[in-house]
Amino acid sequence: MRCITDFHLHSKYSRACSKELTLPNIARACERKGIHLVGTSDITHPAWRAHISDELELAGNGVYQLTGDRSRTRFILSTEISCIYKRGGNVRRVHHIFLFPDLVSVDRFIAALEKRGCNLKADGRPILGIDSEELLKIALECSPEILCIPAHAWTPWFSVFGSQSGFDSLTECFGDMAPHIFAIETGLSSDPPMNRKVSSLDNMLLVSNSDAHSLDKLGREANVFRMNEPSYSELRRILAEKDRSAFIETIEFFPEEGKYHADGHRQCAFWCEPGETKKRKGICPVCGKPLTVGVLHRVSALADREESAAFVPASVPHRYIIPLAELLGQMLGVGPSSKKVRTAYDALVSDGRTEFGVLLDMSAEDIRALAGHAISDAISAMREGRVIRTPGYDGAYGRIRVSLPEAPKQSNLAI
C-alpha cells in the first residue's frame, strides 16, 4: 500500500494557527488531499492532549483513528518543540519534530518536561530553554522508540542549520546523541538536490512535511512510504534502517516558493542570490542594514560539492507540486482562496478523487475530459517542471507559475 504521510502540522492552540485545526477537521481535509497518515501535532499542550483523548482511539500498530472509525485518516502522535538556549557563546534556536509510539511515552515526556519547570500551556508548539542534545536524551529515556527529526532544517531563525541561530553539523548540535537522528526535514525553502550538495548528510534521509498552520496547507509537502497498513513501528524501521525500497518518494514544493529561499529584506522589497549578497557584503542597498541570509545561501556555505551527488546511500526520489488551488487560481485569473477556485476545486476533488491523485496520478486525458485543456495543460506543465519562479525571501513566500505556450483554453468545469 502506498501511504502518504504528513507528520508536521499544528493545532488551534499554536500561535498564528487557524481555529479550524481540530482533529475531525484535519481528518476530513486529509481525505480530500489524499493523506493517509497525519501527525496529531501539539501533543504536549494540555487542552490538545485532552482533545486527543476525547477524539482518538487506538487503531493498532501505534496509529490512531477518530473514535468510532468515522474517517479513513489515521493519526500518528507528534509535536514540534522550539528550543532556545545558549551554546558556544551563541543563542541557539532550533525546532524539532518528535514522533511517539504510544500515549504512555507521550505522558512520560510531558511529565519529564513539567518536572523541569517547562511551560506547556502557553503555546501548542512550546518554547523550552533546553539544549537540543539534552532534550533528545530526555525523550529517549521516556521511550527508546521516540523519533526526533530536526524541523525545516535550513530556515534562518529556528533550525539546526539556520544562518542566524543554528550549527554547522548535526554532531555539533546533538553531540553524542547525533546517531539517534535518522532524518532531517528539508523545509519548504530547500529541496533534496540542494541538500545533496552537503556530503555530511549522505547517510541522512530527507523527509518533507507541510508545517501546516491551516487546513488548506496540509500536504503541501509530504512523504510516500510503502506499508501494508499505517504503522508507527514500520515508519520507525524505515527511517532507522534507511530502507529506500519502502521509502518511495517525497512530494516537494518548488523551493523558490518557500519564504526563506533567497537573501533579502521584505520591508525593502529587495531580494538577491548569494553571489549578489557577497558582492554587497551582506548589506541591503535600500536601507543599509544586513540582509537576511536565506536557505540557498546557507546551503551553499556548507556545501562541499558544486552539484548534487550522482548517488547518495540515503537518497529517495522526489516530485514537485504546485498546490491545486494555486494552479486553479492562475488558470482562472483569481486568488487561490476565491469562490471561483473553491468551486473548481470541489468539482475536481469529488467522486473519490483526491488532490494528490489529480496532481500526481491522473492521466492528462482524464483531466482534460473532466476539466478542459487549460487545467490539464497546467498540471502537465507542473509535472514537467515548466514553471516560472519568483523566489521567496525574509519571510515572504515566493511565487511559482506554470509556463504555458499560449493563452489558457476554456475550462470544462462549472465555475
pLDDT in tens, 226-264: 999 999 999 999 999 999 999 999 999 999 999 999 999
b/e per residue, 45-83, with b = 16+ CB within 10 A? beebbebbeebbeebebbbbbbeeeebebbbbbbbbbeb
* Distances in whole angstroms, Cα of residue 395 to Cα of each of 208, 295, 403: 19, 11, 25
CATH top-level class of 2-257: alpha beta
Q: What are phi and psi of 31, to 5 degrees?
A: -60, -40
pLDDT in tens, 143-180: 999 999 999 999 999 999 999 999 999 999 999 999 99
Which parts of the chain sit beneath pLDDT 50?
A: 414-415
Burial class (CB in 10 A: 0-12, 13-18, 19+), 276: middle
Give CA–CA dist 408/76, Å, rounded.
Answer: 41
Determine contact, residues 317/249, Cβ cutoff 8 Å: yes
Amino acid 146: pLDDT: 98
CA 401, distance to chain mean position in Å, is 21
Q: pTM of whole model > 0.85?
A: yes
**How many C-beta neighbours within 10 Å does residue 317 have?**
11
- Where do the domains of the chain lie? 2-257, 323-402
Q: Which amino acid is at 153?
A: A
Bridge partners of 150?
96
Give CA–CA dist 55/52, Å, rounded.
Answer: 5
Amino acid 115: pLDDT: 98
